[in-house]
A and B are shown apart, each in its own frame.
Chain A
Amino acid sequence: MAIDTERPSTADTSHGAKHTAGFFEAVLMSNPFLVNRINDPSQLLSDVEPIHADEFLRLVSLAQQSCSLGRGFGALLLGGAGTGKSHLLARLASWASSKCGRFDKACFVFLHSIHASAIGMSRYLLKSFMSRLVEDRLDRLHQTMLFRIVDAAMDAAATAEGIQFLNKENREAVYKALSTRLGGDSDVFAVVFRFFCSIEWASAIPEGPARRRHLENAAIAIRWLKGDLLDAEDARRIGRLVLPGHDTTQLSEDQIETVLLVVARLARVIKRPVILCVDQVDNMRSDQFTSLCQTLQSLIDNSTNTLVVVSGVRETILQRIQDRTLPEAFADRVDAARPIDVRRIDRDAGRQILQDRLHQFLVPFEDSLDVKNCFASDALFPLGTAWFDGTQADAVEVRPRDVITWANTRWCEIQTRLKAEGPSNWLATWEKTSLDRTIPRLTKAELIAAIDAKVAEKLEESLNNYRLNRSQLQANAGDLIFLTKSLLEQCLNRPEHGYTVTDVQERGGREIDLRVLESAKGRSVQNDVQFIVTRNKASAAHQLRKLRDSKGADRRILVTEEEREPLRPLGAEGQQRYRELQALGNDVFTHVCMDFDQFAMLASMARVIELARDMDLEIAPRGFPRPVDESQVIDSYHRQNRFRSMPLLRLFLTEEPAPEMTARKFPRAQFREFVLQELAFAPPKGLLQLIAIFEARFPNIESNSNDCYLPQSVVRELRDEGRIKATPCDNDIILQSA
């Protein structure tokens, strides 16, 4: 504990009294135990290293061995819900991102919520992998992991060639020596090198058309490496050719794995392993899961420095081993006979988790004599050791999530008492606990209200998570089709809600992507839906043609993701097809232009269902966790009208017009400065709290100007700059100074 309880203090000075007041304010306004699960490995705010230390060391050792022995390894990470699997992976991510010399200790890629079909699994995996390596930050390509790997590998290769400094004269020769040494697909190497050179050239010249063109070339190279279709013009810009008789070019199936292997080999030049973690695989359908295993198996077999970690709920994964959905060969690769078990912890370890979070919370108030005295008498102040020892005292093994949930409930109790009694009275009797230790029985109405509230919080949490980590949600037609179909399927055969949808069919191939049948105003309506999420002009034109020519359609619906992969500019043919569709009239043709938030909300709805399926969604009346299952989440969506509130889904669910939606925005510069000031030398605060303070302090703020942004966007910007840490939690984002 950093709080120095030995330091002599004779009386609480005005300085100390100020800190005491600040402590009470912080207790009332924040709660260090709100976050009880990790959605993203970068969100490791608190960590007790001795917990699951052996399991962590085994993972690190496997990663290091994969690099030193020059072979791929697999590991199976198993545990019950809430035991700390994702936390362990976050610790691994933190280790990987720590520096060893100039570079991170490992190249770490984390994937979860895989929505790909079994057939498209390898392409999906490649796209996800590359998205993480470039973090969808095309404005700052030189900071991306991919660039840093290539840059470091080129430096190492130059050194090996006796070259002290890389420059435009020797770069080509070094690249050739490097690609010859590493072997593999020369086409892939060439595009990786083009990506690297484009960024180097761009950084050497001032802002202007030439610089922009270099950066565009780098972005095109990324698109090709992700497996996207490129038309002839774009292909030419990165040295690729379109075959005669074809409009487009794309990575071949054989080259998909090669891209992953080339990146891994480049990392090996600088003696770094690649760690690919796939979390929550137990959520996948059997065919998806088997396909994922086959793709990962090949990667393990062919890689020279990759550790693949597959993580999931023990009961489900072991069931899949028994029913052979997890192929025997893959079970061998991940050493399924000796999985890495993340087990429940003993109570003392639970106590340490609480102490760690309390430590972070109390440090800003170490000059308060009251805080220091209370802490000296009880290391769990203000929760209290007596409270902890009395909470579920019979439990031998506990889940870390449970311990945090207990503390969260206790903290709320403290807040209530502090408000009612005032600081002085509370301080005199703070150790008292009125915690009711009987498991509460909720009425049906209370249960429904608690589930609805929890679902709403988790949807907002997931949305904020996607907003902060856009690369976790690929701009991908496959994902959109999957999400639309799976969510609409939850509305079938639910006459009590008055939905008009009667059937959802995924088509694909030469046909449109999705056919949705409705029964509206007493007649059957056939909606044919095409999703276009590509910048490729030829591909867009082809898909528009499919939609135009779709037979028997009463309505033709085009869906595009306009924020990251806008439909325009279309080529000449695409423009013609689009005009033809528009000429059909508004009743027959509808263009749904989705922004990122709409896409992220669809993904969040699916995500919260997955959390429930994974037993990761719980309500905790009086600190007693109680799981919310998949059907309860879906029922909550229906009750709360969430399906109808999504503009895309609404088209197939009702004839009523959509309500107007407005989002709260703030002046960017002013809100940035305000957030940084509020977080400086202070415990973590929630974004909602900061918004409330900001609105109270600046009541007449103008929010319609061009410089006004969503507060979440400003938070993402500050997080990307490394100035704050941001952790989505329920309907809030917990922020703290970096």
Chain B
Amino acid sequence: MRADLACSDAVIMTKAIALAKQERPPKPKRGSAIARVPSNAFTAKDLAVAIIIDKSDQSRFIEAIELAVERRQLCESISWLSVAGQRVYFLREDISASDGESNHSPAGATAGEAVPKTDALHATRSTRLPSDFAAAFNTAFEKANLANGGLNFVKLSSLRDSLAHLSRDVFDAGLRDLRLRKLYSLESSDGASVRLTAEERAAGIKEGSSLFVYVSRR
């Protein structure tokens, strides 16, 4: 098996998942998020071990999968979600098979392109994101961060200004997606050292009792 296969190749990925199901069913761990992940979801390493014998080729296979995800070139029949900071891959058809269970997905499980149903993810799903949102956001962040002395602590208001062509809903849903993928993090203001303007407050994101006004890259 060639390790530098195109992970857009549905046949190979489907085969890898099928083999992984046979060889390494993940053990449920009581009380942890992993316990609730369907047993047909696997890490890239699980898939590599299932389908490739040579260890060095396994690493290349894992890299190829990660690259395909970054470039959004993963085949359409495969999806991933992030659990405890680690991507697990599964067949889309397996989601619909266990749709009933997916309502109990852990809140800590974060979504890739196709995701199980959770309240937290409905907002992302219901708002259609432009395909280049992440890239546009990264660029806006880098620019604002540089202007701010590179402290990795940028006000949401300046990012909204930079991405003014996006509606508030699209911006919020896109940022939420990036946070779920643990690429960015939000923080509120302590109010003691920095006095925020009304505009800066208005640009904030309210979650529970927190008003987030800063963004930093993880």
Contacts and interface: CB of A to CB of B under 8 A. Distances in A.
A80 B190 contact: yes
Interface stretch (B94-102, B127-135, B178-186): B178-186
A347 B107 contact: yes
A314 B216 CA distance: 11
A629 B190 CA distance: 10
B188 A80 contact: yes
Contacts of A379: 30-31
B190 A346 contact: no
Interface residues of A, number: 45
Given A351-B108, A393-B120, A397-B185, A315 B214 contact: yes
A271 interface: no
Contacts of B119: 393-394
Given A321-B149, A343-B185, A614-B190, A396 B84 contact: no
Interface of chain B, helix or strand or loop or mixed?
Answer: loop
B216 A341 contact: yes
B153 A314 contact: yes
B44 interface: no
A613 B192 contact: yes
Given A348-B106, A613-B192, A624-B209, A396 B31 contact: no
A143 interface: no
A344 B188 CA distance: 11
Interface in A26-82: 80-81
A713 interface: no
A212 interface: no
Contacts of B210: 395, 399, 402
* Tier of interface size on chain B: 35 or more
Given A341-B216, A348-B84, A348-B106, A395 B208 contact: yes
Contact of B190 (A316, A341, A347, A393): A316
Interface string A613-627: 111000000001111
A348 B33 contact: yes
B208 A314 contact: no
B151 A321 contact: yes
Nearest to B192: A613
B194 interface: yes
Nearest to B33: A348
Nearest to A346: B108
Contacts of A282: 192-193
Given A315-B194, A347-B108, A397-B179, 20 more contacts: A315-B190, A316-B193, A316-B194, A319-B193, A319-B194, A343-B185, A343-B216, A343-B218, A348-B106, A348-B107, A355-B31, A392-B207, A393-B120, A394-B123, A394-B207, A395-B208, A396-B179, A402-B209, A439-B209, A613-B192
23 contacts: A313-B192, A314-B153, A315-B189, A316-B194, A318-B151, A319-B193, A322-B149, A322-B151, A337-B150, A344-B185, A344-B187, A347-B107, A348-B33, A379-B31, A396-B180, A396-B207, A398-B208, A402-B210, A614-B192, A615-B190, A624-B208, A626-B209, A629-B191
